[in-house]
């Protein structure tokens, strides 16, 4: 692809990664994401159809988007979701098709997802203890999630499988040892992700963040680790256990922002383009799509929006405003 056709922002960063939320609905009620009673869901007629998602992804791919991640809410609650995966796997230019899921329906859908073309999967598990898993998610679902993880592991063509744990102070400290053994005994890369100000309860405060560096020291006190060279635009600092038994990663958007080489944009379930996870403003792609805009017109709208992509998220700066959307409505 010629440089002229590639997608760049106004800071010279090439954009090659698109996160697409297929629904804002979720079957969990994680404390760091939404209230116990849930949220007001987007009306179904406002949600992009599979055909609309595929058309937009095709336009993005023609602009150099190579990595496509499907998120929610919880994407597996979207009816016939593997059919969408199959449609997107056929889009010319998409070389990496991945999924983020809470794993609750993964045992049911693992084979269909692999057959449809999913290449990598991240599964969110914040505790490996059943009662504490329930405390965070408000669902007694850990055995079912682990069964889903096992079902996915039976498909060696999918990999790496990553297990994501949101790190919150006064909770995750007790999980470190178990997650170390989990990473060392199975072919999963465990990743601790710092708690970000995207919660539905608006209860986030800096003191609730368990910093990645603090977690790294906890891990190293249990098993020696060594850092793996960071890939450009990677979100995680990855470490391998020095005896070769597995890897563990740290995603530190609050204490160690990786905005300088960010290559990501996001599409919400109802077709709003977000150029940063913490964007206050959005660009509507659904309305021009449904009003008959040609591909080149949507291309121009995307380019203009991405050119204005934020330099950084400013979480640690005075005057930072939490975006009005929560994580479940944005897409991971």
What are the extents of the domains in the chain?
3-330
Separation of alpha carbons 235 and 260, rounded Å: 11
The residue among 310, 322, 251 whose CA lies nearest residue 276 is 310
Mapping DSSP to helix (H, G, I), strand (E, B) and coil, where does residue 54 land?
helix
Cβ atoms of 195 and 314 closer than 8 Å: no
* Displacement of CA 91 from its chain's centroid (Å): 21
**What CATH number has the domain spanning 3-330?**
3.20.20.70
- Separation of alpha carbons 35 and 131, rounded Å: 19
For residues 78 and 300, the answer to whether their CB atoms sit within 8 Å is no
DSSP state of 139: S
Quick one: pLDDT at residue 331? Answer: 77
Per-residue pLDDT, 327 = 78
Question: What pLDDT shows up at residue 297?
Answer: 98
**pLDDT for position 34:** 77
SS3 percent helix, strand, coil of the chain, rounded to 5, is 35, 20, 45
Unique residue bearing structure tokens 């405390």: 135
Residue 323 has a pLDDT of: 81
> What local confidence, expressed as pLDDT, does residue 319 receive?
76
**pLDDT tens, 165-218?**
999 999 999 999 999 999 998 889 999 999 988 766 677 888 999 999 999 999
Show the beta-strand stretches assigned E in the chain. Answer: 17-21, 67-71, 96-101, 120-124, 161-167, 188-194, 225-227, 236-241, 247-251, 264-267, 272-274, 283-284
Q: Name residues of the chain where pLDDT drops below 70.
A: 1-2, 199-201, 332
């Amino acid at each position: 692809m010629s440089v002229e056709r590639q997608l760049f922002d106004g800071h010279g960063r090439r954009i090659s990664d698109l996160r697409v939320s297929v629904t804002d609905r979720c079957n969990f009620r994680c404390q760091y994401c939404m209230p116990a009673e849930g949220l007001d869901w987007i009306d179904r007629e406002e949600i992009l159809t599979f055909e609309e998602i595929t058309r937009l992804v095709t336009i993005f791919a023609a602009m150099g988007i190579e990595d496509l991640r499907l998120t929610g809410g919880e994407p597996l609650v979207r009816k016939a979701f593997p059919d969408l995966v199959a449609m997107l796997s056929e889009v010319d230019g998409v070389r990496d098709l991945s999924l983020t899921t809470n794993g609750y329906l993964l045992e049911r859908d693992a084979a269909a997802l692999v057959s449809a073309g999913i290449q990598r999967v991240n599964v969110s598990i914040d505790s490996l203890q059943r009662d504490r898993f329930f405390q965070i998610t408000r669902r007694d679902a850990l055995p079912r999630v682990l069964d889903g993880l096992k079902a996915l592991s039976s498909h060696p063509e999918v990999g790496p499988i990553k297990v994501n744990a949101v790190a919150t102070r006064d909770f995750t400290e007790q999980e470190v040892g178990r997650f170390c053994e989990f990473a060392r005994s199975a072919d999963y890369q465990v990743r601790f992700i710092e708690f970000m100000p995207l919660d539905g309860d608006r209860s986030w405060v800096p003191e609730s963040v368990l910093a990645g560096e603090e977690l790294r020291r906890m891990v190293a006190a249990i098993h020696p680790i060594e850092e793996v060279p960071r890939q450009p635009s990677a979100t995680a600092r990855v470490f391998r256990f020095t005896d070769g038994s597995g890897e563990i990663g740290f995603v530190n958007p609050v204490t160690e922002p990786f905005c300088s080489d960010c290559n990501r944009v996001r599409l919400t379930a109802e077709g709003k383009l977000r150029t940063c996870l913490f964007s206050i403003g959005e660009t509507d792609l659904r309305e021009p799509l449904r009003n008959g805009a040609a591909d080149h017109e949507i291309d121009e709208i995307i380019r203009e929006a991405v050119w204005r992509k934020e330099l950084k998220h400013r979480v640690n700066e005075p005057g930072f405003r939490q975006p009005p959307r929560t994580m479940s409505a944005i897409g991971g």
